[in-house]
Amino acid sequence: MPLADYACGSAAHAVSRRGFLKAAGATAALGPLGFAAPGAAGELARAQKRVIVIFLAGGVSQFETWDPKPGTDTGGPFRAIPTSVPGTHICELLPLTAARMHKLAVVRSLNSTSPDHGIGERIMLTGRKPEAGIEYPHIGAVAAKLLGGENAEMPGHIHILPGGGGGRADATFLGPQFASVPVPDGRPPANLLRPAGLTADADREREALRQTLTDRFSRSRRSAASEAYAASFAQAERVFRRADVFDLERESLKTAERYGRHDFGRHLLLARRLLETGVSYVKVSHSNYDTHHENFDFHIEQLAEFDRPFAALLDDLSDRGMLESTLVVVMSEMGRTPRINDRYGRDHWSNGWSVALGGAGIKGGAVVGRTNANGTTIADREVGPWHLFHTYLRAVGLNPQRNFYPNERPVPVADPHASAIDEILA
């Protein structure tokens, strides 16, 4: 998807060539992903804890989603509609989601502290404010390590994103084996299958030679980078034979129609298939919500594209017995301003906006926090991304108070000065 021309033009909306190459170097060897049929997944697929983050890139408006303020000077033209949770209303642009609000919790009092795209995303995904001298891993890398572990068959940290682009060094001290594997436009990697002219025997001989050379190199010049590369290559070999995860034609026509034939629908359907294989964490980006002008027209279009496949995802996870073990998070890097500018847009806002969560460990129907009548300030139960990070970990059964030990130095998994949002934990 090309960048929308109403975006603010910050560097966060583009992926630099250098950034792409850096991320590709860390993750390209991970190669293809796999898929197991629902029947084969069985109890393991239902019991394994996993996370999916749907990232509405650019900053979705809380007024046009989870915290509508109709009839006020900030509210805009849309109504608030009742949901499946008595007394809870959301914006009319999300009618299918409204019918499933009993599966979701909403936090309406988030102060993420930064209205900058790049910094805001980093804060939301790490649960930390930037600090000098240390880069914290993103929630995807943490989930991949703690839920999937070192020897997981599948890559544990997948990012499905629109258009082209690469991943990033988002695992930091956890190591590149837990960095995001980019899946641009939800398409399978190029050169996925063995060339027709290369026999299976020749391929095995080639792999044996590569392994011999790798072992020889490791004995004399072993390094963290070479070990990460070797581990990634071995992982790619293990998942090579299960590349049909990308073949959405294996899904029924009815399922494809429920998710929608547009890119985001395809991407969420692929995400569901990845989760079924045992992938610990999938992030699906939907862009671009940076609506500095024509905010209302844009949200009509974009949220219509979001609402149907999101409802289909919740239904599928529930029907397959996976919702109770899958944490679902809908977030952005920021919200939008209460003030409507002279271009009928909303600008960057971090001082009081909303996120939605559901599934594993989450109390469906819960609403935490409140903004005032026109959404200009938080009126009750302010929380930060650090509280959300604790909540994610607790929801999937992890201890946010444990430490990582990079270079034998204890680093708390989550901000030690924060705690979970207990009101939304089941």
Calculate mean pLDDT across residues 83-96: 98
Higher pLDDT, 246 or 102: 102
Calculate mean pLDDT across residues 38-53: 68
169 confidence band (pLDDT: 50, 70, 90): confident
Does domain 11-187+225-319+326-424 fall under CATH 3.40.190? My reply is no
24 confidence band (pLDDT: 50, 70, 90): very low
Higher pLDDT, 189 or 114: 114
Per-residue pLDDT reduced to its tens digit, 192-249: 567 888 888 888 888 788 778 877 877 777 666 666 666 666 556 655 656 788 889 9
Q: Which of 346, 350, 334, 327 is nearest to 420 (CA)?
A: 327
Q: Report pLDDT for 209.
A: 87
pTM over 0.95: no
CB 180 within 8 A of CB 138: yes
Q: Report pLDDT for 181.
A: 86
CB 34 within 8 A of CB 272: no
CB 180 within 8 A of CB 140: yes
Mean pLDDT of the chain: 87
Q: Report pLDDT for 149.
A: 74
Cα distance between residue 325 and residue 202, in whole Å: 42
Q: Is 426 helix (H, G, I), strand (E, B) or coil?
A: coil
Phi and psi (nearest 5°) for 201?
A: -65, -45
Q: Which residue has the tokens 């850096």?
A: 22
